């Protein structure tokens, strides 16, 4: 085959352009060669330049067709990157459509120039230098094509040429924007939207240009009219490729809250819902399933906007998403859960969902999907939604009574960080103000051991933080109301007198806290939390240590053994060093509340003789004097 190619090339080079069919016959044979790499060793650019400039239109057409085929090879793309060749092609395109209306030659030139531009910045730069971008963009204005037979092919290769050119990056895309490409594309989309079925090919070969501009021009916001047209095309189209293009473009545009509201009011979410209901049984291929997921994700994205969420809450979409909780399709089910989680961003919505038993449906779904082998994305969505639902105080008791805790505790066996993070956050929100539940969970050995483990070993910072915070919250909400009397605030008696305020016998059950402390690493966890990155966690650690000190570091003989163990554990964990580090690193940013809790914690620790000496070793008293907010109090 290579020998035959060599002979054809030699014949072409030695043949002068004649009025007979010799030249076109040779060109046809060359263009029909299936492997363009067979031409790689030949220098063909000069020969074909001569052919593209001849007066015979048929020869020029066949020459352009040959170049289109030959430049499918990277080697020949580089060889044909010549200023004269590209200038000749641009000059021809400058006169499209021709007087006779034929599109055969423009089609082949678009193919040839498009292939030369493919992954070829040198060719793109030459087009730009020759101001060829104005010529290329003018092709988009050609709407009334008389050559009906070749019109679809011209539309296709025009789109391909412009795509390969604009893929050259941000500079070319911005230049096209300056030349008005968005207005041109808007007109084409308007035409396509007027009859989607009739103009399907036009849209399929034009929308990719919008995608390229979106990728290359930062923060490109479409005109609202264009976004609406894309939404209407999606609703009318039965072509999956066209639907995917519309979804991807709208997905990018919907990053803007303004566009989210626009699309919500235009009914896009209901349109997607209806399309998914219509075609859900046909999503059997990976491509169809990917398209279905993209559509689902757009519904959820639009719901992340506050205004769009509030608007859609008043539409049938809310009920549609509740209905999807009964779906057997994992993607529709997950979307329903994610949607409801986004609706549950206000207390009134959360309370409504509990009153309407939507919360119970979510729990039923979770009960069926709370194992280690179940879908992680669905689990994450369910926990996110339930976390939101349990935040309003009026909901807490109802959600607890419905079995939330019993349903999610088996999920402690799951070790996927995103799920664990949401699981711990949900539990933390649930115990807020729920003393009875907090007391129960402090006794849950499996839970506490797992929290200690995650607080030390997780590579996921969120899991580490939530593990520590949940332990601190359990202590706080189980015992704070019982020992609040022992935590003075500004204006109370001097903090140094705090030991005198701790009664000799507390009339509350310490068993939950005792069982918590019996788990190895719990005291260490609270002490290590003192130097957490976030002030809120530092404060929570101080409150937890204050509670432990009030409960155990008293003068009551009944608790002497436990008090001794706690002292030893605190010293072993080097609480003095941690407090010193806390003051040194965070003193400038401490709030009044944190400083008060810090003082309380230190003074409570001082009620134990061993700890007094330990704190003195770390110079805690002197460090306290360096806290700016305390210095301010002193100078007032």
Asked if residue 574 lies in contact with residue 523, where contact means CB atoms within 8 angstroms, the answer is no
Range of lowest pLDDT (255-259, 484-488, 554-558, 623-627): 554-558
Kindly indicate the confidence band of residue 489, based on its pLDDT and cuts at 50, 70 and 90.
Answer: low
Dump pLDDT digits (tens) for 337-347: 999 999 999 99
Kindly indicate the confidence band of residue 224, based on its pLDDT and cuts at 50, 70 and 90.
Answer: very high
Q: What value does the mean pLDDT take over residues 596-621? A: 92
CA dihedral 196, 197, 199, 201 (to 10 degrees): 110
DSSP 621: H
Q: Angle CA(560)–CA(566)–CA(568) in degrees, nearest 5?
A: 105
Token code pair at residue 510: 């310490």
H helices within 32-94, ranges in order? 45-52, 57-70, 74-79, 83-93
Half-sphere exposure of 52 (CA within 13 A, CB side): 29
Element of type H or E holding 305: none
Asked if residue 253 lies in contact with residue 259, where contact means CB atoms within 8 angstroms, the answer is yes
Token code pair at residue 534: 């976030």
Element of type H or E holding 219: none
Place of tokens 């240590």: 545
Asked if residue 106 lies in contact with residue 154, where contact means CB atoms within 8 angstroms, the answer is yes
Dump pLDDT digits (tens) for 81-115: 999 999 999 999 999 988 888 999 999 999 999 99
pLDDT tops 80 at residue 493: no
Range of lowest pLDDT (305-309, 353-357, 461-465): 461-465
User: CA-CA distance, 208 to 516, in Å (whole number)?
Assistant: 60
Dump pLDDT digits (tens) for 414-458: 999 999 999 999 999 999 999 999 999 999 999 999 999 999 987
> Which residues, other chains included, contact 372 with Cβ-Cβ below 8 Å and sequence gap of 6+?
413, 414
Residue-level pLDDT at 94: 94
Q: Report yes or no on whether pTM surpasses 0.85.
A: yes
Ramachandran bin of 118, using left for φ above 0, alpha for ψ from -120 to 50, beta for the remaining angles: beta
User: CA-CA distance, 491 to 502, in Å (whole number)?
Assistant: 18
Token code pair at residue 142: 């050609």
> Which residues, other chains included, contact 30 with Cβ-Cβ below 8 Å and sequence gap of 6+?
5, 8, 9, 12, 66, 69, 70
Cα→Cα distances 154→69, 111, 198, 261, Å: 17, 9, 16, 38
Kindly indicate the confidence band of residue 496, based on its pLDDT and cuts at 50, 70 and 90.
Answer: very low
Cα→Cα distances 325→140, 161, 319, 365, 404, Å: 46, 47, 10, 7, 17
> Which residues, other chains included, contact 296 with Cβ-Cβ below 8 Å and sequence gap of 6+?
272, 276, 331, 332, 334, 335
pLDDT tops 60 at residue 490: no
């Amino acid at each position: 085959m290579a020998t035959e190619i060599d002979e054809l090339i030699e014949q072409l080079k030695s043949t002068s352009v004649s009025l007979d069919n010799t030249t076109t016959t040779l060109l046809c044979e060359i263009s029909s060669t299936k492997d363009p790499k067979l031409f790689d060793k030949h220098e063909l650019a000069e020969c074909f330049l001569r052919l593209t400039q001849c007066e015979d239109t048929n020869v020029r057409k066949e020459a352009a067709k040959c170049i289109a085929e030959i430049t499918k090879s990277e080697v020949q793309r580089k060889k044909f990157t010549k200023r004269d060749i590209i200038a000749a092609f641009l000059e021809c395109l400058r006169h499209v459509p021709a007087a006779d209306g034929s599109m055969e030659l423009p089609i082949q030139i678009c193919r040839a120039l498009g292939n030369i531009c493919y992954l070829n910045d040198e060719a793109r730069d030459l087009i730009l230098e020759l101001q060829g971008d104005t010529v290329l963009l003018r092709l988009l204005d050609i709407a009334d094509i008389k050559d009906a037979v070749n019109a679809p092919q011209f539309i296709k290769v025009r789109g391909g040429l412009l795509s390969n050119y604009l893929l050259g990056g941000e500079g070319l895309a911005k230049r096209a924007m300056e030349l008005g490409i968005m207005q041109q594309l808007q007109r084409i989309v308007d035409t396509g939207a007027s009859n989607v079925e009739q103009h399907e090919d036009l849209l399929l070969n034009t929308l990719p240009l919008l995608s390229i501009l979106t990728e290359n021009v930062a923060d490109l916001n479409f005109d609202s009219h264009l976004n609406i047209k894309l939404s209407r095309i999606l609703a009318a189209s039965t072509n999956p490729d066209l639907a995917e293009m519309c979804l991807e473009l709208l997905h990018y545009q919907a990053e803007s809250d303004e566009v989210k509201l626009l699309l919500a009011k235009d009914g896009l979410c209901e349109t997607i819902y209806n399309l998914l209901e219509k075609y859900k049984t046909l999503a059997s291929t990976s491509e169809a399933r990917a398209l279905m997921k993209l559509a689902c994700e757009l519904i959820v994205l639009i719901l992340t906007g506050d205004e769009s969420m509030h608007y859609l809450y008043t539409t049938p979409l809310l009920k549609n998403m509740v209905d999807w909780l009964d779906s057997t399709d994992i993607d529709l089910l997950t979307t329903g859960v994610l949607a409801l989680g986004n609706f549950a961003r206000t207390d009134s919505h959360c309370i409504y969902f509990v009153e309407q038993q939507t919360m119970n449906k979510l729990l039923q779904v979770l009960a069926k999907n709370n194992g280690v082998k179940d879908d992680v994305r669905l689990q994450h969505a369910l926990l996110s939604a339930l976390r939101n639902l349990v935040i309003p105080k009026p909901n807490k008791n109802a959600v607890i009574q419905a079995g939330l805790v019993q349903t999610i505790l088996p999920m402690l066996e799951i070790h996927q960080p995103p799920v664990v993070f949401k699981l711990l956050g949900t539990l933390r929100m649930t115990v807020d103000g729920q003393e009875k539940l907090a007391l129960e969970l402090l006794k849950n050995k499996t839970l506490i051991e797992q929290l200690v483990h995650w607080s030390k070993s997780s590579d996921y910072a969120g899991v580490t933080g939530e593990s520590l915070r949940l332990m601190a919250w359990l202590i706080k909400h189980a015992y704070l109301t019982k020992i609040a009397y022992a935590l003075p605030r500004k204006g109370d008696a001097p903090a140094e007198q705090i030991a005198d305020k701790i009664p000799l016998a507390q009339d509350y059950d310490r068993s939950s806290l005792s069982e918590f402390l019996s788990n190895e690493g719990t005291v260490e966890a609270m002490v290590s939390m003192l130097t957490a990155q976030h002030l809120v966690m530092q404060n929570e650690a101080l409150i937890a240590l204050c509670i432990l000190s009030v409960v155990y570091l008293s003068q009551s003989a009944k608790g002497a053994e436990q008090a001794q163990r706690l002292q030893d554990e605190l010293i072993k964990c080097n609480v003095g060093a941690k407090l010193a580090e806390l003051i040194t690193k965070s003193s400038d940013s401490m709030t009044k509340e944190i400083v008060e809790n810090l003082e309380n914690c230190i003074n409570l620790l001082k009620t134990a003789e061993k700890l007094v000496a330990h704190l003195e070793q770390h110079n805690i008293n002197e460090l306290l004097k360096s806290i700016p907010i305390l210095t301010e109090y002193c100078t007032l």
